[in-house]
Chains A and B, each alone.
Chain A
Amino acid sequence: MSSFLKRWWWALLIVMTGIGLVRLRFDVDILDLLPPDEPTVQGLKLYQQHFTNARELIVTLRAPDSETAERLAGELADRLRQQTNLVEEVTWQPPWMERPDQLGELLGWLWFNQSPGDFAALTNRLAPGQLKPTLDETRELLATSMSPMDLARRSFDPFNLLTMPALANISGISMDQGNQMFASADGKFRVLYVQSAVDLTSYRACASWLEKIHAVIAELQSGAIVHFTGRPVFVEEIATSMQRDMSHSVGATAIIIALLFWLTHRRWLPMLWLLALLMLILIATLALGGLVLGTVSVVALGFAAVLLGLAVDYAVVHYQEALAYPQMTVPEIRRAIAPSILWAAITTISAFLVLNLGGLPGLGQLGSLVAIGIALSALVMVMIYLPPLFPDRRQPCPNQTPFRWWNYFVAPQEVPVTGMVSAEKSSHRAVFLLTGLIFFSAGAVLCFQRPGLDRSGNALQPAHGEAQQTLDEMTAELGLPPQPLWLIISGRDESEVYRRLTNAEILLNSAVTNQLIGHYLLPDTLWPRAEYQAANRATAAGLGKKGPPLRDALSSAGFNTNAFVLTAELVRTWSRAGESKSVMWPTNQVSQWLLKRFVARTPDECLVMGLIYPATNKVDAAELTALSRQLAQNHALLSGWELLGNATLKRVQSRMWEVVTPMVALVLLSLWFAFRRATEILLGVAVLCLSGVCLLATMVLAGWTWNLMNLMAVPLMLGTGVDYTLFIQLALRRHGGDLVAVRCSVGRALLLCGGTAVAGFGSLVFSSNLGMASLGKVCAVGIGANMLISVFLLPAWWRLFSPKSKVQSPKSEDAGAKDGEKSTRAKLPPFYRAGLWRLGLVAAKMIPAGLLKTIAAALADFYWIIQRQRCEVVVQNFLPVFAGDRTAAEKAARAAHRNFAAKLVDLWCVEGGETGCNWLTNSGELEIIHAARRRGRGTLFITLHLGNWEHGGLLLNQLGIRLTILTQAEPDDGLTDLRKAARARYGVDTLIIGDDGFAFVEVIKQLQAGADLAVSLDRPPERGGVPVEFFGQPFAASLAAAELARASGCALVGVTIVRRPDGYAVKVLPEFTYDRKALGNREARRELTQQILRAFEPEIRKDIDQWYQFTPIWVGQASRLSQK
């Protein structure tokens, strides 16, 4: 399978890309950017789905005077109506003006909806005996009234049928209020509603239809100013903006990348190859995004420019390294630079994936797309970018050890810093002055003001195009109230909706009383009452037969047929109502035109929309939240763009911790794995903090605010900004702190990388979506600040705080090291620190030993996986024991790590006070110890780093022997003191042997006084080692035991203590005998040392997995390791 993948991975990728491209769809609905479970979003979606006509275009027309405007509007309506293939209907004045008779159906239906009592009362009013008095009253009113409304109404409603409770609230079906929807007060501005005859389901359909409509309107050549708005225009605008944003941002970023690359390197081929790969990566990312996500939000397409800006970094760093080290092959460059690239990619991918937790699905999509792209980019740039550019360096060196996949994740062992270039102190001073200046200036700005938080929904809206501007103009000209909030109530049927309407009204009344809202409009009057209709059917049927007597009565009273038009329509409606079997709705054009503004019906549900007007011009969304929740419990969704912003922002804010916390942890973790030094980690954090302060100060000075979109810049900047600190500090290590070399190599590359990233984010500034534009601005400034601080300030900080260099040890003749070969030691594992040791001591007290050992073993396994370079030292140490069998050596080395973890737990337990141990001893062997001591010349116990050698002191103490351990200082002084104190508690003294030669004098004196001391002999000393053979390998052994024997005549006893399942097995070797006088000869001392080590070989072989040698012990081993 793996070979199949290796051969055909590219074909698989092409297939997946193809499927993805086929599956890919674009979503221009801005609401799909938002969390779908948010009630406000649900309400807005329902509003858009049911109450904004997707096929309705609104045309506005402005003329010099009202007569011209009215005439042109009429002509335009006629012209558009002729285009029957494009236009279904045009409404340019209140529909009841053109078809007043159709009002009758609506009025009749309103009567049918009245309570049975009221409707029945109508029957009485229209009783034959009542007709003449009613008509006489009408005549008198017509004769004497001064009210134009009364005259107009009663002329066409002689029976006064318009007097009903329902019409008290909708008395505005008059010329005035009807015209308000179609013309401004001065009449110069008019509105036409054009219903499309074709379905406008896609933005392409909208664009095509609008083009044809524009052509028809252009033929009018009226000289009037015509604008367009409505859903088709918004859709077309957003789609066009989307295409423009994509092409412009990608194009601009690509040009900037090409320009910067050219300025830096002046080479065509790498630049063109880079651009080609970037384009392929973009297409593949989009395709894979389509495969994974299916439909991609228009906002998420901002990923393209961002991805370009980030992806180019990997190629640039790779290329820069190739130029800086012409002797390295491409595989070697890959090995050297891949860890930093891959870890940087991992942090960036994580940062962008974290956007999925932010609460905005659209931004989550953008994050996913960028993450996919980054992963692709890292792989492509690491594996594919360099080989075509350096064909002669493609192949690895003949003796190159093949790299495993994990090699690309583990940074090679760095040579410790030596011979640091001493930069001039004045340049450091300048850097620190600049640092202080930046910090205090930014701090001063922030002391006075901090960036505000925009709680509105402006960040979600597109930059105002013609559609929005026209809509705003229409609202102003028609004198419509400012944007209300929408209340959408749904239900299975009319009865359920009415119940919910009633409940909502109770809540809204209370809200008005509490001045939470100004007022509201609920169309409860215009909602059918199923129970009333059922009860009124019989009455309606009766009224439906009243046509002829009413007509006769009118005629008798002197009225002509004009007066009967409206009444006749009412009677017809009642007749139909009387025959209806279910809930009746009015059906004619006028009724439909009116009702569809706030009523929607589907086969599964009914919906009604009400309007709520805030108490003040500014919506206090926080106060409305409680009302919204109460209404939502009643299946009434309160929604609106003003609420949307606040609701979404609250969600984003509540999730910020979920987003930022893992990002911070990831950043710290990546810094830890990259550096494993607290200083450098803190420097990385300091860079992030200072760049954050600079960003905040810039936002204050530029007047920018945080909003629900650009808040997501925080995890992005954490994830991408940390890359610069990684690259710079790793480069500083590689170049031994040479600031000039770092700036010329990585620094230059990072300026280019940072510049492209800034360009990528910065291109979002021109996005048509305001939120994306703000996100681009903030990211560009934040990442730019991070990059500049990393390149220009961080190196000086690093020089100040990094540990001083250790001088390389000179070559040793006795060690037989080759000329020029420097034997260097690998560092001890980092857990030899006082803080961690104390943590271990506490853990040993609190956690049962068995559990702690299990945890420790798991950590050891983890260490084995992630620190392969260090673990390789142990493998190399074991190889001679296994006669070169690498598999066996690896197995033993891995077991040794686990056993060492358990050994540490044992040691912590002992140092914590647990001195009870099960010793597995041989009395005969213990007698060797006693016999040696009885001679009174002092006893030197010789041990190895085998098993629990530290327990030897405890054992001897329990045998009544006070031991003094000869040891070197721990890497951490605090640890030295800690352990010394701990040993003293169970009766073991410690004597630190450092470079001080006089310490040996004290040792000799103690031995001569009969003391018992212990020393380890299986680590080569830093100097003065003698060549012996150990497991058949040359070994530089310490002459300490032989020297002490010569000087004091002490007994030499070898001891090992290894762990067994049931205790600790103690092995005492036979005493090493020697001729004291003969030891005056150095060769004799070497022989004695050889004898001692040879005696221990079987013990080591028996318990090789408890032989803890974590530093190179063989001659030349350290230098071989450093070259890998």
Chain B
Amino acid sequence: MVSIHSHLGRTGVAPVSKIISRLNGIKSQRQARCLSCGWARRSLWILPFLAVSISRAADYDAQFNQWFAVQTNLQSWAGDFTQTRTLTVLNQPLVTRGQVWVKPGEFRWELGQPAQTIVLRRPDQLLIIYPRLKRAEKYPLDAVPTGPMRDALALLDASLPRDRATMEKNFRLLSATETNSILQMTLQPRSDAARKFIGEVVVGFHTNDFTIAATEMKFADGSRLRNDFTNVVLNQPIEPKMFEADLPPDYSVVEPLKK
């Protein structure tokens, strides 16, 4: 479990965190006496800021935990989203609306109205359907070879983290900022191979009701993909058939991982 304190150092309270970590890292009592003597005389004025920072960090951590607690206890959630894709080759970002339904271990992601891309996540597989092209791509999640594809799929999964353990397993928390009652966590994939693909993931949630507010992926080539969620409804029953793919017979189904 990563201590949030060390990461806060990057967000602008570096001197304070360095002092804290230095104090925490002291092993020699003599060092501690000298340090405490010296800093006590010269740094008393820092103490108020220190108190504020510590308490702010503690608030974020608590909010994280509460958000994750909400995630853990969620049976389902659904909502609308606006997806913005900022690509290095385009002058303006591409904006598409969609809908999402999420259950533990499953989600349905419809992009476009009418849906041009449908992503169905099951415990054992990921299915991407392109209705206009009458094409479906199947990715068995238990047979993905190690490598960037596996990491990318894990990230896709983790971009909607359900619990802190899963999140921390796949990501390193870089920073957390709160703006307009939305707490945004900036995460960095732990996997080196995945980092070549996705540089950062940002997850934002409402601090009042702990519903998901936004997710954003920043890719290694500079492009970004952001989802802003609205009309999020929690724990409403969702029909099981929403997560099933009933593909018409004229659809071509491919398994890109099979070569």
Q: Chain A interface (Cβ within 8 Å of chain B)?
A: 65-67, 139-140, 142-148, 151-152, 155-156, 158, 175-176, 185-187, 558-560, 562-563
Nearest 5 A/B pairs, CB to CB: A563-B89, A143-B94, A144-B116, A144-B117, A155-B89
A residues less than 8 Å from B128 (CB atoms)? 146-147
CB distance from A159 to the nearest CB of B (A): 12
Whether A66 and B193, one on each chain, are in contact in the complex, defined by CB atoms closer than 8 angstroms, is: yes
Known A-B contacts A144-B111, A146-B128, A176-B148; A558 and B119 likewise in contact (beta carbons under 8 Å): no
B residues less than 8 Å from A176 (CB atoms)? 147-149
Whether A558 and B90, one on each chain, are in contact in the complex, defined by CB atoms closer than 8 angstroms, is: yes
Bound state CA distance, A559 and B119, in angstroms?
A: 27
Bound state CA distance, A776 and B85, in angstroms?
A: 72
Bound state CA distance, A151 and B85, in angstroms?
A: 11
**Chain A, Cβ-Cβ closest to B198:** A148
Known A-B contacts A66-B192, A147-B137, A176-B147; A142 and B90 likewise in contact (beta carbons under 8 Å): yes
A residues less than 8 Å from B92 (CB atoms)? 558
B residues less than 8 Å from A139 (CB atoms)? 90, 94
Other than the given A144-B96, A144-B117, A145-B117, 10 more pairs (CB < 8 A) read: A66-B192, A139-B94, A142-B85, A144-B112, A147-B128, A152-B221, A155-B87, A558-B91, A560-B91, A563-B90
Bound state CA distance, A187 and B256, in angstroms?
A: 23
Bound state CA distance, A540 and B147, in angstroms?
A: 40
Q: List 8 A-B contacts (CB under 8 A).
A: A65-B192, A143-B95, A147-B128, A148-B197, A558-B91, A559-B91, A560-B88, A563-B89
A residues less than 8 Å from B95 (CB atoms)? 143
Whether A185 and B147, one on each chain, are in contact in the complex, defined by CB atoms closer than 8 angstroms, is: yes
Bound state CA distance, A48 and B223, in angstroms?
A: 45
Residues of B118-148 contacting chain A, CB below 8 A: 119, 128, 130, 137, 146-148
**Chain B, Cβ-Cβ closest to A565:** B89
Bound state CA distance, A532 and B8, in angstroms?
A: 63
Taking the complex as formed, is B152 at the interface, i.e. its CB lies under 8 A from any CB of chain A? yes
CB distance from B132 to the nearest CB of A (A): 8
Interface residue count on the B side (C-beta < 8 Å):
31
Whether A143 and B85, one on each chain, are in contact in the complex, defined by CB atoms closer than 8 angstroms, is: yes
Bound state CA distance, A155 and B224, in angstroms?
A: 13
A residues less than 8 Å from B223 (CB atoms)? 151, 155
Bound state CA distance, A151 and B130, in angstroms?
A: 14
Bound state CA distance, A186 and B151, in angstroms?
A: 12
A residues less than 8 Å from B193 (CB atoms)? 66, 187
A residues less than 8 Å from B137 (CB atoms)? 147
Whether A560 and B89, one on each chain, are in contact in the complex, defined by CB atoms closer than 8 angstroms, is: yes
A residues less than 8 Å from B112 (CB atoms)? 143-144
CB distance from B151 to the nearest CB of A (A): 11
Bound state CA distance, A176 and B256, in angstroms?
A: 14
A residues less than 8 Å from B91 (CB atoms)? 558-560
A residues less than 8 Å from B149 (CB atoms)? 176
Bound state CA distance, A18 and B111, in angstroms?
A: 87
Whether A560 and B192, one on each chain, are in contact in the complex, defined by CB atoms closer than 8 angstroms, is: no
Bound state CA distance, A145 and B96, in angstroms?
A: 11
Residues of B75-127 contacting chain A, CB below 8 A: 83, 85, 87-92, 94-96, 111-112, 116-117, 119
Known A-B contacts A148-B152, A175-B148; A562 and B119 likewise in contact (beta carbons under 8 Å): no
B residues less than 8 Å from A563 (CB atoms)? 89-90
Bound state CA distance, A147 and B119, in angstroms?
A: 11
Whether A142 and B119, one on each chain, are in contact in the complex, defined by CB atoms closer than 8 angstroms, is: no
Whether A143 and B88, one on each chain, are in contact in the complex, defined by CB atoms closer than 8 angstroms, is: no
Bound state CA distance, A562 and B89, in angstroms?
A: 5
A residues less than 8 Å from B116 (CB atoms)? 140, 143-144
A residues less than 8 Å from B256 (CB atoms)? 147
Bound state CA distance, A155 and B91, in angstroms?
A: 12
CB distance from A304 to the nearest CB of B (A): 53
CB distance from A519 to the nearest CB of B (A): 12
Bound state CA distance, A139 and B89, in angstroms?
A: 11
Bound state CA distance, A140 and B130, in angstroms?
A: 12
Whether B87 and A67, one on each chain, are in contact in the complex, defined by CB atoms closer than 8 angstroms, is: no
CB distance from A181 to the nearest CB of B (A): 15
CB distance from B217 to the nearest CB of A (A): 11
Q: Which of B89, B112, B130: most chain A CB closer than 10 A?
A: B89
A residues less than 8 Å from B88 (CB atoms)? 155, 560, 562
Bound state CA distance, A148 and B139, in angstroms?
A: 14
Whether A559 and B90, one on each chain, are in contact in the complex, defined by CB atoms closer than 8 angstroms, is: yes
Bound state CA distance, A67 and B192, in angstroms?
A: 7
CB distance from B225 to the nearest CB of A (A): 9
Bound state CA distance, A396 and B130, in angstroms?
A: 109
Bound state CA distance, A187 and B116, in angstroms?
A: 37
Bound state CA distance, A146 and B83, in angstroms?
A: 12
Whether A142 and B87, one on each chain, are in contact in the complex, defined by CB atoms closer than 8 angstroms, is: yes
Bound state CA distance, A560 and B90, in angstroms?
A: 5
Bound state CA distance, A559 and B87, in angstroms?
A: 9
B residues less than 8 Å from A144 (CB atoms)? 96, 111-112, 116-117, 130
CB distance from B211 to the nearest CB of A (A): 24
CB distance from B80 to the nearest CB of A (A): 16
B residues less than 8 Å from A175 (CB atoms)? 148, 196
Bound state CA distance, A185 and B150, in angstroms?
A: 12
Q: Which of B88, B90, B223: most chain A CB closer than 10 A?
A: B90
B residues less than 8 Å from A155 (CB atoms)? 87-89, 223
B residues less than 8 Å from A158 (CB atoms)? 89
**Chain A, Cβ-Cβ closest to B149:** A176
CB distance from A833 to the nearest CB of B (A): 81
A residues less than 8 Å from B87 (CB atoms)? 142, 151, 155
